[in-house]
Each structure stands twice: as structure tokens, then as C-alpha cells.
């Protein structure tokens, strides 16, 4: 996923959030609001997974092949952390 | 949570998404992007839980006390559905 | 979902967990372990959604139609709480 | 986390599941069942994050430093997949 694709997806998500604001303003049905919010959360999970994939194929490879054990450890720990966090949000 | 509070939260989330776009544009570190996305997902879960709470205290009560069994069934089924969905997004 | 069905599902999940223990004992591939754990989590979400659905059709209806406002408030609050929790586990 | 620690955690989770079965058998309150199920899901997320962390520090390092680009690609793709899946279960 290149930069353009990421920005396009985030623009869409921003538009989706504004759509939900309009739904709130016109007092639309609560359950429809919740469903739209859940759709946005799904779209965010997708962007996030794509960014992680990119990270694995660039920074991670560099760090693992590099000479600095602290840097490598930091990069591995960060991936473990966002994975743990992902199961919670 | 009244309408104003919901709109304020959604406005903040929209601003947060725009902040993430700027981070993408200036090539910020992937893991920082992911963490910001996870923060937005958490904020959305919170809004969603608040809307559900409101729904339980209004529409649900009306439907359960009302005379129409189909309407009641629909409202209960919707809550079960968004709950099931919540564990997946 | 009656009691028997719930017990059957939970028995299956218990067997699944024991299967994962055997996989750990025979040093199976980490990613396969993780996938099995994710499958168990999905099965648990399903049982949980079914129990909530049952709860909505029994206790909730009784509480909302009952005379005790504190009891009603408690039942509604609990549902909001498990919903919020569901988006996090 | 060594093998023993993983097995101990999975044994605890198995015991927790059996406890939930007993709660179903004695018709305990639905919301208490749901909370216990959510606690098990949280414990599973923790084991899963620990296994991933271990995987990153062993198989991943071997694959990234190895000579086989297909093997490396496979290992990176698997991590991206379980991450995407984690946000959904």
C-alpha cells in the first residue's frame, strides 16, 4: 500500500465520520449510528493491518538484519505491543 | 450523553483522523500511525457504547413495554446483533 | 439456545483448549497455535452473543416491565457494560 | 515465555471454561456467564500475544536473515494475517 492509497482510505474514513455526525444531527436511529461506527472501526483495522504489513517488509527487515541489538529488540517489542493492543480495541 | 456531547466526540475523532493523514503525508513512523489508529478505534468504541446505553434507556424500554411483539423482537434482535458485531471489530 | 446447547459448545471449546495444549507439548508452529487460539476466541464470542440474546428475551423483559426502577437500571447498565467490554476483548 | 508457562496458562484457561460449564449447569445469572467468558477471552489474548512475541524472536529472525525469499515472505505474511485477525476476534 503506497502513501496515496493510505491517504485515500483515511480520507474516506474521515468522510464516513462526517456522515455519522450528520446522522446524529438529524436524530437518526441509534442502532444505525452504531452500525456505521462499527463499519468505520472495520475500515480502520484494515488500514492498520496494511500499515503493519508495510512495516514488516521495511523497518523490521532492516532492524533484524542490522548490527544494533537494542534497535532490533525495540522493533520486535513494538510489533508485539501493537498486536496485543489490537486484540483489545 | 446528549446530542452535543456525541457531536463533540465525533468532531474530535474527525480531527484525530486528519492528524493521522498529516502523519502519513510527512512519512511518520509506521508504529506511531498504528497506535494513533488504535486510539481512534478506542474512542469510537466509547461513543458506540454511549449510544447503545442511550438506546437501551429509550427505544428499548418503549419497545419492551409496547403492544407490538414484532417491534419488540426487532429491537432485541438488533441489540444482540450489534453486540455480536462488537466482539468482531 | 437451551442449556444443553450452551454446555455442548463449552465442552467443544474445552476440547479445543486441550488440543492447543497438546500442540504446545509437541512444539507445533507458533502461528498455528495463534490461529487455534483465535478460533477459540471466535467460538467464545458466539456463545457469549447467544447468552446475551437469551438474557434480552428473559431477564431484561422482566426488569423493564417490572415495578422496580433500580432493578431496571441495573439490568440496563449491565448490558451497556458487557457491550463496552466486548469491543475490548 | 517457556513451554511450561504456556501450558500452565492454558491449563488455567481450561479450568476457567469448566467453571463456566458448572455455572451454566446451576443456572447462574447470564451476565455473570458473559463476564467470565470475556475474562477467558482476555486471558487467551494474553497467551496469544506471548506466543507471537516468542515467534518474532525466533522464527522471524531466522527467516529474515535466511537466504530464502519465499520463506521470508511467508513468515512476514503470516504475522500480518494474525494481526488482522486479532482486530476481529
Distance from CA of B85 to the nearest CA of D (A): 9
CA–CA separation, A65 and A57 (whole Å)? 12
Chain A contact for D83 (CB, 8 A cutoff): yes
Q: What mean pLDDT comes out for the span C64-85?
A: 95
Do D38 and C6 make contact, defined as CB atoms within 8 angstroms? no
Angle at B69 between CA B68 and CA B70, to 5 degrees: 95
Q: How many Cβ atoms from other residues are within 10 Å of residue D76's Cβ?
A: 19
**The pLDDT of residue C62:** 96
pLDDT at A63 over 70: yes
Q: What mean pLDDT comes out for the span D21-46?
A: 96
Chain B contact for C64 (CB, 8 A cutoff): yes
Task: For chain C, give the mean pLDDT.
Answer: 94
Distance from CA of B48 to the nearest CA of A (A): 6
Chain B contact for D42 (CB, 8 A cutoff): no
C45's grid cell? 464470542
**The pLDDT of residue D89:** 55
Q: What mean pLDDT comes out for the span C6-35?
A: 97
CA–CA separation, C70 and B84 (whole Å)? 27
Sequential DSSP letters for C59-77? IIHHHHHSS-HHHHHHHHH
Phi-psi region of B29 (alpha: psi -120 to 50; beta: other; left: phi over 0): beta
Burial D25-64 (b: 16+ CB within 10 A, else e): eeeeebbebbebbbebbebbbebbbbbbbbbbeebbbebb
By CB neighbour count within 10 A (0-12 exposed, 13-18 middle, 19+ buried), where does B87 fall?
buried
Q: How many Cβ atoms from other residues are within 10 Å of residue B75's Cβ?
A: 21
State the pLDDT confidence band at C74, using cuts at 50, 70 and 90.
very high
Taking contacts as CB-CB distances below 8 angstroms, the residues of chain C near B45 are 84, 87-88
Q: What mean pLDDT comes out for the span B20-26?
A: 97
Q: What mean pLDDT comes out for the span D41-55?
A: 94
pLDDT at C88 over 80: no
Do A87 and C87 make contact, defined as CB atoms within 8 angstroms? no
Domains, in order of start, for chain C: 3-86 (1.20.58.1000)
Residue D11: partners with Cβ closer than 8 Å, 6 or more residues away:
C21
B59's grid cell? 427505544
Residue D34: partners with Cβ closer than 8 Å, 6 or more residues away:
C48, C51, C52, C55, C82
Q: What mean pLDDT comes out for the span C44-54?
A: 94
Do B83 and C82 make contact, defined as CB atoms within 8 angstroms? yes
State the pLDDT confidence band at D87, using cuts at 50, 70 and 90.
confident
Pick from D48, D76, D86: CB nearest A57: D76
**The pLDDT of residue C14:** 98
Interface partners of D (3+ CB pairs, < 8 Å)? A, B, C
Q: What mean pLDDT comes out for the span B1-22?
A: 95
| Whether the Cβ atoms of residue A17 and residue B68 lie closer than 8 Å to each other | no
State the pLDDT confidence band at C1, using cuts at 50, 70 and 90.
low
| Whether the Cβ atoms of residue D30 and residue C54 lie closer than 8 Å to each other | yes
Residue of chain A nearest B54, judged by CA positions? A30
**The pLDDT of residue B89:** 55
Residue of chain B nearest C88, judged by CA positions? B87
Chain A contact for B56 (CB, 8 A cutoff): no
Closest CA to C53 of B54, B76, A3, D12: B76
State the pLDDT confidence band at C89, using cuts at 50, 70 and 90.
low
Which ipTM score applies to this complex?
0.94
**The pLDDT of residue A89:** 55
Pick from A24, A42, A58: CB nearest B89: A42
**The pLDDT of residue A1:** 57
CA distances from D71 to C32, D31, D60 (A): 16, 46, 10
State the pLDDT confidence band at D2, using cuts at 50, 70 and 90.
confident
pLDDT at D72 over 60: yes
B32-83 pLDDT, tens digit each: 999 999 999 999 999 999 999 999 999 999 999 999 999 999 999 999 999 9
| DSSP H/E element including C27 | none
Count chain A–chain B contacts defined by CB atoms under 8 A.
104
Share of chain D above pLDDT 90, in %: 92
Taking contacts as CB-CB distances below 8 angstroms, the residues of chain A near D52 are 79-80, 83
| Whether the Cβ atoms of residue C16 and residue C39 lie closer than 8 Å to each other | yes
**The pLDDT of residue B57:** 95
CA distances from A66 to A55, A70, A80, D52, D88 (A): 15, 10, 19, 21, 33
**pTM above 0.90?**
yes
Chain B contact for D89 (CB, 8 A cutoff): yes
State the pLDDT confidence band at B87, using cuts at 50, 70 and 90.
confident
C10-22 pLDDT, tens digit each: 999 999 999 999 9
Residue of chain A nearest D54, judged by CA positions? A80
Cα torsion angle, C8, C14, C20, C22, sign:
negative
Amino acid at each position: 500500500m503506497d502513501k496515496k492509497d493510505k491517504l485515500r482510505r483515511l480520507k474516506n474514513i474521515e468522510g464516513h465520520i462526517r456522515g455519522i455526525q450528520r446522522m446524529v444531527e438529524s436524530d437518526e436511529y441509534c442502532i444505525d449510528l452504531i452500525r456505521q461506527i462499527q463499519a468505520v472501526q472495520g475500515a480502520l483495522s484494515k488500514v492498520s493491518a496494511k500499515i503493519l504489513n508495510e512495516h514488516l517488509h521495511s523497518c523490521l527487515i532492516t532492524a533484524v538484519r542490522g548490527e544494533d541489538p537494542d534497535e532490533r529488540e525495540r522493533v520486535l517489542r513494538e510489533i508485539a505491543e501493537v498486536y496485543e493492543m489490537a486484540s483489545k480495541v
